[in-house]
A and B are shown apart, each in its own frame.
Chain A
Amino acid sequence: MNTPVSRQDETDLDGLLEHCNALRLAPAPDADLLPEGFTGMLGHFPVYFPEEIAHAAGLLPVAVLGGGNRLELKHADARMGSFVCSICRSTTELGLNGSLAGLAGFVTHPICDAAKHLAGIWARNLPEQLSEILYLPQNVNTPSVVRYITAEYQRLRGDLERRTGRPIGDDALRRSIGIYNENRRLLRDLYALRRDEPWKLSCTESYLLTRARTRMPCEEHNALLEGALDAIRRRSLRAKDKPRVVFVGGFCEQPPVEMLEVIDDNCYVTDDDLLVGLRWLTTDVPEAGDPIWALAESFVERSAASPVQHDERKPKEAWLMRMITESRADGAILTAAKFCEPGLDEQVAWSKHLDGARVPYLVLEFEEKMTSFEQMAMQVETFAESLLFALA
């Protein structure tokens, strides 16, 4: 049995969470104050990016996750239609207002058409940065896909080598893979803890702890998670009468923290797809052999699912049902970011499926920039009550 957490530990944990929240609110790290071993930063857009390659290049991977609900759009309104999702608009704002000027480059992905357009916006407005689309495949089922991804990763590797002026050795890549494997293990532990003892760690806290990786070297994040997990395990909190739910739809645009808090107030979130890109590879990447091949193969064989990745082996409804079953959830909260076409399409499919499977669910739409949560709180509260009533 764990030793109960002391008041000091609890204060330390609170301090840690405060620190993580401050990191969330801050723009990209200062390019002049980079951690040792890093010569620059590489920005990347959701969902998944093979951070190991940037890490091995000595470029600090910085996930660009939009502007939250405190950023005022001064430039982006005139550059992107009002029908484009908030994360794309606020990312454009951050690019245009100079907040991301310290990045050596910015990589986006073919997750949706709005995200692909960010590469064009970068090419037109920040030509000094390396900006590109990493064409991760939407067909992961044709046998030679690993070979294609390997070629695409090698292309990225070459681009980063030219940018930094130094080669990325296989040994450096293997070392980075080892560090990230440790991170994957810790994140799995974090999620297992939420599944097994959700009263010890809220969804919001878990989100803040995970998101901290987007602003620090992975090795530092490993140490942070180790400490946090230790303190969380020793927390002496008791289970409350709250229903267990799975939260999906937060795979790209970030739901406001206030929204997660509203859900935490009423439910235990036993699994979610928040920051799923940081947890995309679900088990260890092989540390022997060709490291680029190992990363490419892992994208195909050891990966999660999301509405923006087609995979014949993983119908999204089946994936959701698996999350619900494995985390012993009583229901689901199906969200979608406003104007997010893939998310909105998926929300319909999920809800129809849950209707058929007789799993209770709540549909919510959010925007990263939303600031009012009263109505949402009422909806979540009513949903939680109905779940408890059904369970009684």
Chain B
Amino acid sequence: MTTATLEPAAEGVPAAIPFDSRADGQRLMRDWYTALAEAPARGQHVANVFVMGNAVEILRTFDFQLVFPEINSLQTGVRKASEEYLRLSEDYGMSPDVCSYVKADVGLILKEHQHPAGRIPKAHLAIASNMCSTFIKWAEIWERLLKTPTFVLDLPGQRAGNWQVRPGDAQHAADARWVEAQMRDLIERCETITGKRFDMDRLAEVEERVNRMVFHWNSVMALNRACPAPYNAMLDGLTYIGIMNVYRGTAEGVEFMRALEEQLKAKVARGEGRVAEERFRLLFSGTPCYVSMRRLVELFETWGGVFAYSDYLTFAAGGMDAGELVYDTSRPLESLAEVTALAAQRGLSNQFFAHERLEQQIRDYGVDGIVFHGIKSCRFVSSGMADTRDYLNKRLKVPSLYIESDLIDPRYWSDAQIKNRVDAFFESLHQRGGGAPLAKAAAAATGGAA
């Protein structure tokens, strides 16, 4: 799906400054951390939310300052500070075998909320969905250590393989009814916590902004089907989804996505790719290794390999690119429940049937190979990975590479070993006659199949 027309820049945004997705993304993230640190002084209520299934739209209508603990944890990795937080939590008693995001967050609590990016305020409310079961165990830790009131948002997921759910069918209606009941319950709790009345019109406004963000986001995702790919899904894409999450439903978020789409469209029109010579189009399945992501991408880009798509960009951005996910702002609450129920099945919990999504994306993005990144920190993505790989190898005969490290634990990154495996993978791709991207680009330029 692509946008037919581009919107003008939002009011109050200076148009003269050229858009730089990386710098602007970093600035927005810095602004967010500043806002977090200042929330208590402003007397603002704070909510902890996760990136999958979070009812942010409702929280925004109550003016909650949003904390994304997953982003805080990954930022300890990006800023090369994770080990200290991990060790603190292991000393406290956390097992080496559990999610390192959770452990970094426990470390953060033990460090009196001092994060490398600033002070993280304590939450007045936490929302944990069941999309990743660890969210719930994580929120229970806040309940215990910080007495944070927790609301578990239960989203009925994809029940079986080849599960077809369509908006309005009986199954979707039943699931949406349950989600709506929980949204209404959540609203009551927010009213109690904040002392404010729920405002349906504000919800519609937030949804309108989410619709616009998702519209641009879908286009951004689709633009990477072009050859050469204008961005690397596992490097530039990580900045984009950070904004998709933290600024969801805000004017800044809409503007970032609008400008991003505009910039990438122009890049595609110029035939400009992420790397000078794109030789292999790849799909990355799994979560990043934030301590060494730049290095990992470098290992691939040296060979002309670009990640055109990653399922991470789908599930870690709330699953909103999965089609038909547009709020009907004339019935904001009902529509929120319907879209949330649909996103949970089409964009989030379908990770448990990952072969279905990957089969589709392999075709849509015309990839030459898949890289699976398995980590014990994240059983949500990793538990079925080896089997999915086996299935896709047999069915589609797409070459694949399996590597293991961690989200943010540097102790699991083995540079020489991973480099060897990456090099061997590319050599085998070459032997299979891959690595002739110019023919693809030429075919794409003349409208032929890539």
Using a CB–CB cutoff of 8 Å, the interface residues on chain A facing chain B are 78-81, 83-84, 88, 92, 110-114, 116-117, 119-125, 127, 130-135, 137-139, 141-145, 147-148, 151-152, 155, 307-308, 310, 312, 315-317, 336, 338-339, 341-342, 344-349, 351-352
Count, A-B residue pairs, CB within 8 A: 178
B residues less than 8 Å from A345 (CB atoms): 94-95, 98, 102, 137, 140-141
Bitwise interface map of B from 38 to 54 toward A, beta carbon under 8 Å scored 1, else 0: 00000000000000000
> Contact partner of A143 among B92, B144, B185, B404, CB < 8 A?
B185
CB pairs A–B below 8 angstroms (20 shown): A78-B386, A81-B376, A83-B376, A88-B383, A111-B133, A113-B132, A116-B157, A117-B379, A120-B353, A120-B387, A124-B388, A135-B156, A137-B130, A148-B156, A148-B177, A155-B159, A317-B144, A338-B97, A345-B98, A345-B102
Contacts A83-B376, A120-B353, A345-B141 given: A339-B97 contact, CB under 8 Å? yes
In the bound assembly, the distance between CA atoms of A81 and B185 in angstroms comes to 39
The 8 closest A-B pairs by CB, nearest first: A123-B161, A83-B376, A117-B384, A148-B178, A139-B154, A117-B383, A132-B160, A79-B387
Q: Please name the residue on chain A nearest to B379 by beta carbon.
A: A113
Closest chain-B Cβ to A238's Cβ sits at a distance in Å of 40
Q: For A138, give its contact among B152, B159, B352 (CB under 8 Å).
A: B152
Set of chain A residues within 8 Å of B353, measured between Cβ atoms: 119-120, 123
Q: How far is the CB of A296 from chain B (nearest CB, A)?
A: 12
Docked Cα-Cα span, A143 to B137, in Å, equals 22
Residue contact A155 to B171, C-beta cutoff 8 Å: yes
Interface residue ranges of B173-200 to A (CB < 8 Å): 174, 177-178, 181-182, 185
From DSSP, what is the main secondary structure of chain B's interface residues? helix
A residues within 8 A CB of B143? Answer: 315
The distance from the CB of A132 to the nearest CB of chain B, in whole angstroms, is: 4
A313 CB to nearest B CB, Å: 13
Taking the complex as formed, is B354 at the interface, i.e. its CB lies under 8 A from any CB of chain A?
Answer: yes
Contact of A112 among B102, B154, B379 (CB under 8 A): B379
Query: In chain B, what residue has the closest Cβ to A336?
Result: B95
Chain A residue with Cβ nearest B380: A113
Give CA–CA (A143, B387) in the complex, Å: 39
With A83-B97, A123-B353, A131-B160 known as contacts, the answer to whether A341 contacts B185 (CB < 8 A) is no
Question: How far does the Cβ of B6 sit from chain A's closest Cβ, in whole Å?
Answer: 39
Residues of A within 8 A of B181 (CB): 142-145, 147-148
Partner of A120, one of B92, B352, B376: B352
A88 to B379, CA, bound (A): 12
Question: A112 — which chain B residues lie within 8 A by C-beta?
Answer: 133, 379
Nearest Cβ distance between residue A45 and chain B, in whole angstroms? 13
Interface bits B369-398 vs A (CB < 8 Å: 1, else 0): 000001110011011111110110000000
Q: Are A339 and B376 CB-contacts (below 8 A) given A110-B133, A120-B161, A133-B159?
A: yes
Q: How far is the CB of A108 from chain B (nearest CB, A)?
A: 9
- Is B14 located at the chain interface by the 8 A CB criterion? no
Q: Is the CB of B383 within 8 A of A344?
A: no
Contact B161 A124 (CB under 8 A): yes
Q: Is the CB of A138 within 8 A of B154?
A: yes
A310 near B140: Cβ-Cβ < 8 Å: yes
B90 to chain A, nearest CB (A): 11
Q: Which residues of B lie under 8 Å from residue A151 when comparing CB positions?
A: 174, 178
Q: Which residues of B contact A344 (CB under 8 A)?
A: 94-95, 97-98
Contacts of B349 on A, CB cut-off 8 Å? Answer: 116
> Which B384-430 residues have C-beta < 8 A from chain A?
384-388, 390-391, 404
Report chain A residues within 8 Å CB of B157.
110, 116, 133, 135
- Flag if B137 contacts A142 (CB, 8 Å): no
Residues of B within 8 A of A135 (CB): 156-157, 159
Other-chain residue from A84, A142, A152, A336 in contact with B379 (beta carbon distance below 8 A): A84
Q: Mark B129-166, 1 if CB is under 8 A from A, else 0.
A: 01011101100110110000011111011111110000
Q: Which of A114, A120, A138, A155 contacts B136 (CB 8 A)?
A: A138
B residues near A80, Cβ cutoff 8 Å: 383-384, 386-387
List 17 additional contacts besides A119-B353, A131-B161, A348-B92; criterion CB under 8 Å: A81-B374, A81-B376, A88-B383, A116-B133, A121-B387, A125-B387, A133-B158, A135-B156, A139-B154, A145-B181, A148-B181, A307-B137, A315-B143, A341-B134, A348-B95, A349-B140, A349-B141
Q: Which residues of B contact A139 (CB under 8 A)?
A: 130, 151-154, 182
The residue that B93 contacts in the complex, of A125, A132, A342, A348, with Cβ under 8 A, is A348
**Residues on B facing A (Cβ under 8 Å):** 92-95, 97-99, 102, 130, 132-134, 136-137, 140-141, 143-144, 150-154, 156-162, 171, 174, 177-178, 181-182, 185, 349, 352-355, 374-376, 379-380, 382-388, 390-391, 404
Which residues of chain A are within 8 angstroms of B185 by Cβ–Cβ distance?
Answer: 141-143
Q: Which residues of A contact B151 (CB under 8 A)?
A: 139
Flag if B376 contacts A79 (CB, 8 Å): no
Shortest Cβ gap from A154 to chain B (Å): 9
Q: Which residues of A contact B153 (CB under 8 A)?
A: 139
Residue ID in chain A nearest B392 by CB atoms: A124
- Find chain B residues with CB under 8 A from A143 CB: 181, 185
B359 to chain A, nearest CB (A): 11
Residues of B within 8 A of A134 (CB): 159
Give the distance in Å from the alpha carbon of A54 to the alpha carbon of B304 in the complex.
55
CB of B58 to closest CB in A, whole Å: 14
Contact across chains for B134 and A310 when beta carbons are under 8 A apart: no
- C-alpha spacing A113/B93, complex, angstroms: 22
B127 to chain A, nearest CB (A): 11
Structural contact, B355 and A124, CB atoms closer than 8 A? yes
- Cβ–Cβ contact A114 & B379, under 8 A: yes
CA distance A346 to B136 in the complex (A): 12
A81 and B386 contact, CB distance less than 8 A: yes
Closest to B143 in A: A315
For the complex, give the distance between the alpha carbons of A137 and B181 in Å. Answer: 13
Contacts of B102 in A (CB 8 A): 345
Residues from chain B with Cβ under 8 Å of A127 in the complex? 161
Tell me how far the C-beta of A79 lies from the nearest C-beta in chain B, rounded to whole angstroms.
4
Specify which chain B residues have a CB less than 8 angstroms from the CB of A141 in the assembled complex.
Answer: 152, 185
- Complex partner residue of A132 from B95, B152, B154, B159, CB under 8 angstroms: B159
- For residue A352, give the distance in angstroms from its CB to the closest CB of chain B: 7
A145 to B154, CA, bound (A): 10
A217 CA / B144 CA spacing, docked (Å) = 42
Q: How far is the CB of B446 from chain A (nearest CB, A)?
A: 38
The interface residues of chain B lying within 8 Å CB-to-CB of A111 are: 133
Question: In the complex, what distance in Å separates the CA atom of A138 from the CA atom of B136?
Answer: 9
Contacts of A83 in B (CB 8 A): 97, 374-376, 379, 382
When C-beta atoms are compared, the residue in chain A nearest to B355 turns out to be: A124
CB contact between A144 and one of B178, B354, B391 (< 8 Å): that residue: B178
Min CB–CB distance B109 → chain A (angstroms): 13
Query: Chain B residues with Cβ under 8 A from A121's Cβ?
Result: 384, 387
CA distance A339 to B137 in the complex (A): 15
Residues of A contacting B161 in the complex (Cβ-Cβ under 8 angstroms):
119-120, 122-124, 127, 131
Q: Give the distance to chain A from B160, nearest Cβ to Cβ, in Å.
A: 4
Nearest Cβ in chain B — how far from A140, in angstroms?
Answer: 8
